[in-house]
Structure 1
Amino acid sequence: MQAKKPEGTEDLFGARMRAWERMQAVARETFSRYCFSAIETPAMEQVDVFVHGIGTSTDVVRKEMFRVFSGANFANVLEKGSEAGLKPGKRLALRPEGTAGFVRAAVENTFVPQGGAPVKMWYAGPMFRGERVQKGRLRQFHQIGAEVLGASDPALDAEVIVMLMDFYRALGLDMSRVRLLVNSMGDPACRPAYRGKIRRFILDHADEMCDECAVRADTNPLRAFDCKNDRCREVMAAAPKIADELCDECADHYARVKAYLDEAGVAYEEDPTLVRGLDYYTRTVFEVQVTSGMGSQSAIGGGGRYDGLMELEGGKPTPGIGFAVGFERIMLALEDQGVDLAGPEPSCVYVACAAPECRDAVFSACLALRRAGVRVEADYQGRSLKSQFKQADKHNARLCVVIGPDELAAGAVTVRDMASHEQEQVPMDGLVEAVRNLV
């Protein structure tokens, strides 16, 4: 039986791979202006990293997280019917998001020593969730994220959001078809009372809402705002709003974030029902959506402040904020807007071999050009010269360097322009300079 990729995954190659590489390059270019450096964390972490950070009541932890066992540990789990006997270091999961792993790395490597300056880092890579597969929602998907630890200044919240919008603009999105939603989720001083109000509201309307939201009333009532059930969303639209319940400090922080966004000229909409999907968020939360072309899957990124997450992961109290954007979602938006992020295949120089006795000279020419930094392709199957010219076109070659018996005897090569079909003969030892002058 032919092997097939797992459901909910895709192979990245060709134009799709170029688009992913281009998106990372745009992120690097954009984020570097804000003094972010790159980090790569493991694709798998101890389960507790995500349980502590994301929360046991979230769908991500309860339903979607892929667990990882070695063969021996899996056999042990099957035999005992539980993983309870495994040490924490052997209870592993594929990362469903990037923030918890970044914060674990920050704690383990002391990114922010006592009194140290804030640390800014960004990452890109695959994430894994066992969700129902649909357009724009895969089981292995790709994200680019940025995180800051060590400062609670509302100006930082605004700068992170401005940077995110700069990133979308640099990718080529039509910003008139993009909207930014913002909200504040309060903090441990004011959110518990608000959670209590929402719990009572859900219980009072339990007969109008889904069973999942009835469970959320006791586990995490704010998640009811994020329910995908249309009737639940209608009911929750009438629920008490967090903006009316914020303590003075949270209200002031939120007002200053909005003032900084106004100063930066960044348009936004306040959405009092925006809660994001993970438990670690506090105060500022935000989400970016496209207004057309993606149906119900309109979100292309978002994030927020997580001032208590370092403590949950075993570190000292350290404020943080970050965001993540989805490659697959953004690609849907770009394609809907007619933006080709991948661009054409890079051009090259094709070195054609006109006779078997010229093969060594072709190898030497390729070697010299590549060592000079030129992208080079050649024939390795003994094709005819006509077939090699066709192959050069397929490789988007700007020039074709032809080496045949006549060229070999003259110590020269023929350089052919693939667009104009003009050609000239140049000495073999002048090939690199000639090619540099033409490409």
Structure 2
Amino acid sequence: MSDFAYAYARPSALEARPEGNALLLSAFAEDAAESGTSCFFWGRLRNSWLAARGLSTLAKVVASRFVPQSAALRDPIVTAGAGLLRFEAFSSCNGVYARLDLGPEALDGEFLSSGTTNVDFNEPMVNALARISRTEPVLLSVGEQEVVLERAEGRVTERKVALPERWIKGLTAVQAYLALMEEKMRLTRVQAVQLVQGLPAGTAKTDVFLVLRGPRPSFSPVATAGAVRVGGAHRLRLLEGLLPLCEALRVYATPDGQASAFVLELGGGQQFVLALSADVWRGFSGEGNQLDALMEELPTEWIAGANNLFRGNETFNPTLFALENNLDPNTVDKLCASLSAMGLLGFDLAENQYFYRRLPFKTQRILSLNPRLKNARALLAAADGLQLVGVGEGGRTEARVRGTGVWHTVLVGGAQPPQCTCTWFSEHQGQRGPCKHILAAQMQFA
């Protein structure tokens, strides 16, 4: 999928009109032909200057590249519905996730449909955003659908691809990390500006830890109680233009320090989220942090039934969903993982709730975007893929699992975390999800 480029029927643009400027965001949805949707939202931005600053920062994230070999940039996506517009994007290296939320207080208009779509962020439009003044009125339109897709070689194709493969995998990993995060500190606007002023000069080559020394935030090379691990802290400079405008900045992190997030409260129903992977070289698309929950294959009708209940940006509460449908919480966890693996779930830190994205229902994405899960199932299907060695004290199971020209020893079950002798496990120690050998052993013996 990554070799497709988008050519929209008309470019996104900021048009001058007698009643004020109109920001027309040309868009494309995978299911546009089926839905017949030509526009998701039409209305006025209550604070157009602030929204333009947020969109400009989002465009800055998309254009950024912190790993030289990373792929070409992609257009952001927007989810419309439930009175909200959520613009989401990744850096070209996939290690930075950004989202601009425009809530009901930020919008004065009509939602004509619910859905998720790519939005054309071309250079002239980005330049026009920078010229919006503090007082001029701006209308916003999201949803012109017709696009032409071309391969890099220039060949026109009828195959329609709305989201890059790596982005869907990244969305899956990001929401899983966000759902685990805890608020670590809340900073004022002055402290938020001091945060960037205190960044180490140049490119950060090692982890630093964000701490509060009295009232002032600073970065330390040493972890202390309450500190937030920030890998590649120089990536926070993406927020330089927004931090002086925020009312408050909330800092979140996962308990194991594998990701951090910075939530800017901009006021007037606007919020900006920036999440960072643990390391600069480590994109969100390869985390595999929900593979454990995907081991058990749920009936397609269960997943389809859940998908039919929700529209774009509607809240998905797993606990409430389990109670209303008389489902076991573990089953709902597996359901969440399956929906997320198709790019259908996001997570709102401020509300501590999942939200829904309306994308085409394609269950084949669960396996196609999770090759370790697919390979584990292939090992189970093979006649000689796994061999049971024995079960030790505490229910610890030892197995031999076939690799490429070698057998790997796998330990699963019991109180200890799983282990494997393969190269993947040796390199990552379970921090990027289980390897295919552990998955296969868990599915077979656990």
Q: Give TM class, smaller chain.
A: under 0.3
Bigger Rg, which one: 1
Higher helix content, 1 or 2: 1
Q: TM-score, normalised by structure 1?
A: 0.27
Higher strand content, 1 or 2: 2
Q: TM-score, normalised by structure 2?
A: 0.27
